[in-house]
Structure 1
């Protein structure tokens, strides 16, 4: 493996606590590189690979717009509870660590996809791929909700080999892509030659800062204000905004622009967005677009004018999600006559950014419940994590906004965002590992107030996240079989039940203290207790995905822990 590829791969394994052997970890690594091109969601290494029969496909991922969907239940829920259309992307991968090319391997990958997508596949499939095929079929059952009438199918042949001009290799990709197109199941069909330089580019895009130069028609500075380093209001062409800000240098829509925006894209058909779309479609109204639209607000770590351009770094759109997504959706209708007003603000204090988010969205009558990133409870939780973890070797961090610890070079495995913290809390405190594994979006949606309730103990959140972090380290360091990674939520529920009953016997003052000790050790009495607990609660790590996702599994785990306590 090339030295640079090996460096990026090792960094991934360390930062994400990759728990498998080198071959499986490499699959997780390249699948993460692909994943990050489509979504800004947090993801576990164990969510990116699967065990079982391998018909020549190493990874299968599904995205609705930039949202990753990992279960049929969640996909069904999305289609049942929303009426909007989605850009659907199906990503299939093959990973090869070899530094040489093989036409046969490329042909085999294409043949595997063709067989997999057929009505009666000849190859055996793992439970993961069988479940993914059900998700694939569910998309077609809801084909009227798919933009363009069909999903996109992107197949990545990842290899550690350098690019090649070999005629037979390039021909294999051309012939293979044609074969995938002939199936007729997709809108955009790509067979991607993902050699090592492509892997390097994808990794850097996933892990590095966002930077852009925005050409303006004109701009003016705002007067100096406390805690605001620089601020400008600019008039830009919508074309420049799309090409510089909304898309990266490869022309791909950026996936991490809207974490600070309090609303997801609602679709082109809702009233406010249909009006924006109608303006873009009307030749007479189009030149007045900038006057009829409230504009977009961007917060960045750096805002620097240079001539008629403005350079920005580490930027987020905090208001204007709807406008931005309509512009992306109707890209072909946006010409040089369409203008837009942009506010660019350089600020780094969280409280100041909170005020900007709240104020700019308040003007759009956004409800308080939607201010997930600005809830007082989350701000208090961030402060607690910082105080509680100060001086600890195994420190963990609560990330209230995406990328806030990038400059501190904190390993992702130690960082818990709102969604991941909610999943940990559900498993340990609510004793609902099924929510953590099957319906994580509910925890920051309809169940938000149940998870981050007023009066809850901050130590409960910290201990739940710490347990998750240490469990990942124990599987990464091979103290437990990597197959237990997919059972992590049920293990945490079992540990909560166990420590709640035994903490006094163990000489601890609280259940949280016992939980902390249980997961802290790599050996000794506490590790032996955890080893016994895991092998009693979940004696077989090769559990089927259907059983893993079923509510009865929780009851089985609890019953096994009760037997241990007798």
Structure 2
């Protein structure tokens, strides 16, 4: 049986949007499935190529480990997130995808064996990528103080997805086996067919759209950066209309995390305040809610009004995460609960960012959001997106900024990624770049992303990171070299500029370094040779240290003494 024609068309679109990636249809369907589920069904915002297992791992095509919604592929990335804040929530999403017309009992059994193996003996799963993911796994479990991480397992096919009685029994027996480990908060094992993938892919590539009834509204005063804005109150079922996604294959609607600035995982159902509010609602005191709650603020790029019906597109709930989570737990009463609402229509990204910061002053605002407000970041975004062909990079100043744009997902760079490459390439701190980039940000806060800085240099650093990851994904360099990434970027600049002040150098000197480094980055053979030279040198230093396991090696090269030793020995004349 041929692949479902709609899935085939979507797969073609996905391949065209990621034309620089390599692989056959089955490889791309594996990545597309991860993208559709994560960014469509679950409303996350991740690069699916980073969650894809590039190889012949036993029964599993992808593993997405996330903390607070941020994908972690190794221990360093996990620790970087865990170093800030507390009460972190982690999750594990496991994937297997087949371009087949039906579900196969043996393949599903093998998939679930692989899942069980990842969390137990590791007798079936091998390789550097698995070893790195195990490091992230262990950090998630160690940080599970508030609640155990959730586990979701997705077996995807291009067929009908109909589940036989035998497969149902297989799933239940494996659920029991996984539950017996006593490490998960919840366990979902789902089989998705062509229709599920179709709908999920559409959701992942379309901007958010909702129509709500808002009769109790008043127009807000004019503002240069706002097309239209309203304040008033709505019934809670209208809030859920904005906040919940489409029904999944089990007929359930979940909160669409993609529309929240204030991450939905930050909701703490065990807090005394939230328990008290929920208790009042469950006890029948519905009329008091509107007087005690600050309500929600919604920012939309487009508002279309017809009478009291407002259709909003490409919107975010920038304040009201806690409120929405509480209301989602009492859907049967939602029509009788009133909620204060501010609805703001603006297409100005900088003003939207200011609204987000202003409405979240009582909450911790992510450093990324402050960076998004800097004039330099806007200039950098324009410069990077305007580069031709292989040099193009997309700076994501706002979450899901490129959600409905058909572009290569791996080229999207977040401000926090830029901070990491800046730490290595500009501040010459490769040993701290992966784990301590927030510490570096604090140390160099007045020396980063300044208006007179060179957009060319930041683009160069971002492109070097993208090309490194590209060479790994396409197996041009071994995956074992990933651990050396930031030393590779450091050496790339350090060989042409000897001190950690390139950002303040004379424009002619900056241009000379930029030209030399870009010549290497844009030549895959030259860049590969550079990566191999640096990695070979690092391997010699590691061999002399006695470090054996990947964890020991990772800890060793993150020390300041190793960084000093590498610099002295690699750059000696």
Scaled by the length of structure 2, the TM-score of the pair is 0.78
Q: In the alignment, is the contact (CA less than 8 A) between 1:236 and 1:342 conserved in 2?
A: yes
In the TM superposition, residue 192 of structure 1 has moved relative to its aligned partner by: 0.8
- TM alignment of 1:96-495, pairs within 5 A: 96-118=98-120, 120=121, 122-123=123-124, 125-129=126-130, 132-133=133-134, 136=137, 144-146=145-147, 150-164=148-162, 168-169=166-167, 172-173=170-171, 176-177=174-175, 179-181=177-179, 185-216=183-214, 218-241=216-239, 243-250=240-247, 251-259=253-261, 261=262, 265=266, 267=268, 274-275=272-273, 277-282=275-280, 283=283, 286-328=286-328, 330-331=329-330, 335-361=334-360, 364=361, 372-375=368-371, 378-387=374-383, 390=386, 392-393=388-389, 394-405=391-402, 409-438=406-435, 451-452=448-449, 456-472=453-469, 488-495=485-492
Q: Which residue of structure 2 aligns with residue 499 of structure 1?
A: 496
Q: Secondary structure at the match of 1:281?
A: helix
Distance 1:551 1:512 in 2: 31
Q: Which secondary structure state, in structure 2, belongs to the residue aligned with residue 559 of structure 1?
A: helix
Distance 1:509 1:344 in 2: 46
C-alpha distance 137-518 of structure 1, shift in aligned 2 (>3 A)? closer
Paired residues of 1:280 and 1:289 also in contact (CA < 8 A): no
2:191 aligns to what SS in structure 1? strand
How far off is 1:163 after superposition? Answer: 2.8
- Distance in 2 of aligned mates of 1:76 and 1:294: 34
CA deviations on 1:93-133 (whole Å, 9 max, x unpaired) are 22333445421111222233344444x56545445445545
Q: 1:154: Cα distance to partner? A: 1.5
SS at match of 2:495: helix
Change (3 A) 1:480 1:430: same
Alpha-carbon spacing, 1:205–1:550, altered in 2? closer, same or farther (3 Å): farther
* Contact persistence 2:235–2:336 (CA under 8 A): yes
Indicate if the aligned counterparts of 2:483 and 2:554 stay in contact, CA closer than 8 A. Answer: no
| Shift in alpha-carbon separation, 1:345–1:145, aligned structure 2, 3 A | same
Cα shift readout 1:154-201 (whole Å, capped 9, x = no counterpart)? 111123334346554555445544554565544432221122332333
Which residue in 2 is equivalent to 1:48? 52
1:546 aligns to 2:547 (yes or no): no
Distance 2:308 2:482 in 1: 51
Deviates more, 1:491-500 or 1:283-292: 283-292
Q: 1:137 to 1:312 in 2, by over 3 A?
A: same
Deviation at 1:298, TM superposition (A): 0.9
**Contact 1:378/1:400 (CA < 8 Å) preserved in 2?**
no
Question: What's the CA shift string for 1:317-342, capped at 9, x where partnerless?
Answer: 223334334545x5579644432111
Change (3 A) 1:341 1:377: closer
Which stretch of the first structure deviates more once superposed, 450-459 or 91-100?
Answer: 450-459
The 3 A distance-change label for structure 1 pair 287 and 63 is farther
| Distance in structure 2 (CA, Å) of the matches to 1:262 and 1:110 | 30
Partner of 2:416: helix, strand, or coil?
Answer: helix
C-alpha distance 281-4 of structure 1, shift in aligned 2 (>3 A): same
SS at match of 1:538: helix
User: Aligned to 1:202, what secondary structure does the other structure show?
Assistant: helix
Q: Is the 8 A contact 2:65 2:91 kept in 1?
A: yes
Structure 2 distance, partners of 1:444, 1:35, is 30
1:498 to partner: Cα distance: 2.6
Q: CA 1:285 to 1:439, structure 2 compared with 1: closer, same or farther past 3 Å? A: farther
Q: Secondary structure at the match of 2:71?
A: strand
User: What's the secondary structure of 2:233's corresponding residue?
Assistant: strand
**In the alignment, which residue of structure 1 is the partner of 2:96?**
94
What SS is found at the alignment partner of 1:45?
A: helix
Secondary structure at 1:499 match in 2: coil
Residues 385-441 of structure 1 show CA distances to partners (whole Å, capped at 9, x for unaligned) of 425764645343433223445676554344323122223322321334455444666
Select between 417-426 and 405-414 the one with higher mean Cα deviation: 405-414
Work out the CA distance in 2 between the residues paired with 1:304 and 1:190.
38
Q: Is the 8 A contact 2:264 2:321 kept in 1?
A: yes
Note the alpha carbon deviations across 1:500-533, whole angstroms, 9 max, x for none.
3699xxx9953222112221235xxxx54x3432
What is the CA–CA distance in structure 1 between the aligned matches of 2:382 and 2:480, rounded to whole Å?
32
State the match for 2:38 in structure 1.
35
Task: Describe the shift of the 1:476–1:108 C-alpha distance in structure 2 as closer, same or farther (beyond 3 A).
Answer: closer
SS in 1 for 2:257: coil
User: Quick check: 1:238–1:336 contact (8 Å CA) kept in 2?
Assistant: yes
SS of aligned partner of 1:510: helix
SS of the equivalent of 2:287 reads: helix
Unaligned runs of 5+ in 2: 248-252, 503-508, 543-548
* C-alpha RMSD over aligned residues: 4.3
Contact 1:237 1:339 in 2 (8 A): yes
Could you say which residue in structure 2 is the equivalent of 1:61? 64
Decide whether aligned partners of structure 1 residues 564 and 8 sit closer, same or farther in structure 2, where only a CA change above 3 A counts: farther
Task: Give distance in 2, aligned partners of 1:138 and 1:482.
Answer: 21
**1:153 counterpart SS class:** strand
CA shift at 1:382, angstroms?
1.6
SS in 1 for 2:259: coil
Partner of 2:512: 510
Equivalenced residues, count: 543
Tell me: CA distance 1:557–1:5, structure 2 relative to 1, closer, same or farther (3 Å): farther
Distance 1:31 1:451, change over 3 A: farther
- Contact kept? 1:377, 1:454, Cα under 8 Å: no
